[in-house]
Each structure stands twice: as C-alpha cells, then as structure tokens.
Amino acid sequence: MGRSQSLPRGGDPRFGPDADDTGCTILHVDMDAFFASVEVRRRPELRGRPVVVGGIGPRGVVSSASYEARRYGVRSAMPTARARALCPHAVYLPPDFAQYTAASRAVMRIFRDVTPLVEPLSLDEAFLDVAGARRLFGSPADIARLIRRRVAEEQELTCSVGVAPSKFVAKLGSTRAKPDGLLVVPVAQVLDFLHPLPVAALWGVGERSAEALRRLGLATVGDLAEAPPGLLRRAVGAASSTHLHELAWGRDPRRVSPEHVEKSIGAEVTFDIDVVDPLEIRRALLALAEKVGVRLRAAGQVGRTVSLKVRLADFRTVNRSRTLAVPTDTAREMFDTAWALWTILDPGEPIRLVGIRMEGLAAAGETPRQLTLGAPERGWREAEAAADAAAARFGRSVIGPASLLGKRHPGRDENPTRP
C-alpha cells in the first residue's frame, strides 16, 4: 500500500504468525522493495547498501527503494532529486523492467503451484484464495510460510504476507508485516485490528479525504465506523460514505479473481531538459516502443491500438492514437505508428514528456498473425524475442535500448536512426 508508513509493524500476539487462522483463507503476498531487491540479487555487492531504482535524471521519480535507503526517508514516488538530498551515498539505478517481469513471473508460478486462484495486482503483489489448498498444504498460515520459504530459497527474494478473512484486511496485514514478515488477522479480531488504524488506511481515502475526515474529528477507522451516516455523506459523498462504512466494519465481500486482464501496457519518459530536437524525440520513442514490446511479450499479449502521449513544456498534454489492421507485440510496428502520429502532430514546441501505450489487448496465442506482402516469414518478432531471451540472461543493458530497431530488416545494414 502507498500508505504503509501509517501502519507500524505490529508486535501484538493477537495478530502474530501463530494466531488463529480459522476462516482466514485470503492471502495478500507483497514482495519487499521488489525492484531494488531484484537489483541486489543480481549485484550481491550491493547487499546492505541503500539502493534506489527509478529515473536518475533531475526530473526522475523513485520507483523502489531498499529498506536501507528508506531509513533515510526515501520512498517510492518521491522525486529522485529529493531522494539524492536525503541519501546522497545511495546507489541509484535505472529500472530494468525485463528483469522485474521475469522475476515476477517466477514468483507468480510459485503462487499458482499452491492454488489456481491467484489475482495479481501488479508485478510484485497478488491475492490468493487458499480455501481449496488446505487439504494438501495445511492451514492458511502454513501455506503463507510455505510460499515465503519457496520465494526465499528459489528466487533469493523476500515477501510479506497478510492472512485474513477478506482481501482488504489481508492487504493491510501484509503492509503491517513488512519487511519479510507474516501477520494473521483472526476473524474474531478483525475490528480490534482495524479500528485503531488511521483513517487513511482505508481504501479510497486519499490525503484530501483524510484531512476532511480529520476536521470532523474522524481520525481513526473506529471513529469513522461509529460516525453518523449523514456526517460521513457530507464529508465524502453518498457513494464513498457507504463504501468506507462497510470497510470500517471489516466487510469486504470481493472474491479473488484470477481473470484479471490488463487493459493497456505503456511506457513514458520525462526529459531532464525540455526537448526540441526531433531526432532526440525519435530516439526516445524507439526506446519506449522497445520497453512496451518487452512487457507485451512477457505478458503473452498483443495490442491493436497504438497511443502516443505528448506533454509540452507548459504542461499541456496531447494524445493521438491509431488502430492497426493486425494486433502486434513488436517494437518495430509500435515505433513506426507512433512516429507517424508524431509527424502528423508536429507540435513545434519544446517537449517535456513522451509516451507510447498499446491498447485493445488480447492473448497472443489466440490472435492470428498475418504477414505483410513481401515480408520475411521470420523477422522482427523473432529478433525481438531473441533479444528478450538474451536480456533475461545477461541484462537489458547488454542489448542496449532499441538496438533491434536500427535496421529495416534483420541482416540488412542501414542508418541506425532510420526504421
């Protein structure tokens, strides 16, 4: 959760790893400082040092920080410049999503070895329903211990697990268990666990809502649970008041849904200095198309609509899109389309940010592929897949950004900046 600092790790024996887990069949597994931990795994010399992953330029943002860095106040979503001021001696690394995606898939396979009811929320966290796994693997807490042990032994990574009767409480439990911990919230103790928490711990309560609630004297979840319905409606509106009231009483009927499907996959870059050179924009779009292609192929998906996002120096944002005749997962086709959209847009002003996003996603194996007239039977997709395999083994930096996009066809030499 983004508000994990508001949930101190607990030592209350009522919620320890050995607490009563009867009826607590929902697990929330959250990898610890995932991106930073993957970097430390492949660079053991960084173990014990503060490590920060994210944009390393003056406009960059922190994606992940090791717990050594967090001791200095570094947090995810913090501007990198602020992180450098807080912890100048940390190791700052750009993200390598190919590595993180590969690690995520390995971890998710461990989860699915236990139960088919796995609902990934992102690369580094998932809900599991283990009701049907108890006969084979034991109690929910035993299953949580099994998962933690396998992740540590097989992937050399740590995770924290919340075990509870509902998704909402399980997620709070994993947050409070961090780092590298296990917390069980017994059915009979759910309200004892929830009500002392700050009101910002509730899903749907952001900073502004929390401040509005605090002004009404509703500082904790327990305060909100006991608040008159009319007071709550005036503070956050009718729909939100009902939602928050239910959560405050520990009521969350949502089931684990393993059929979670991404609606789009994209990447964007904020330039350190506003850019006017079209060649630099072109290079950025090449690199972004490669990132999106890697993520699509890792997810086993293809997309049909290419969207281009452009943010001008004055923060105005322009979006353009084009739907392809045939779905794709190749960076080459994404770049060609994005560059065509850019050429038509021709903003003629300094650019702060560009992004590429693929929409209209479908499973790659279920989507027929059509060769363009005159195109080789084996071409860009195979070349890019080979680069994925090499990057997974040696690191994306060995391949280089957009390295496959420097030639019109594999095997033909041509100007590397022209597709």
So which residues are the catalytic ones? 125
Question: Are 311 and 353 contacting, i.e. CB atoms less than 8 angstroms apart?
Answer: yes
Residues belonging to the binding site are 30, 124
Q: Are 255 and 389 in contact (CB under 8 A)?
A: no
Q: Give the separation between CA 59 and CA 209, rounded to whole angstroms.
A: 28
28 CB neighbour count, 10 Å cutoff: 30
- Among all chains, which residue has been given the structure tokens 């395999």? 389
Binding site for Mg(2+): what residues are annotated?
30, 124
Q: Which helix (H) or strand (E) holds 243?
A: helix 238-248
Encode 39-74: b = buried (16+ Cβ within 10 Å), e = exposed. Answer: bbeeeeebeeebbbbbbeeebbbbbbbbbbbbebeb
User: Phi and psi for 290 in degrees, rounded to 5?
Assistant: -65, -45
- In three-state secondary structure terms, 396 is helix
The token pair that represents 103 in the structure block: 């690690």
Give all strands (DSSP E) within 217-375, no chain letters: 264-275, 301-312, 317-328, 351-359, 362-363
State how far the Cα of 124 lies from the Cα of 30, in Å rounded to an integer: 6
3-state secondary structure at position 266: strand
Tokens at 384, concatenated: 């890019």
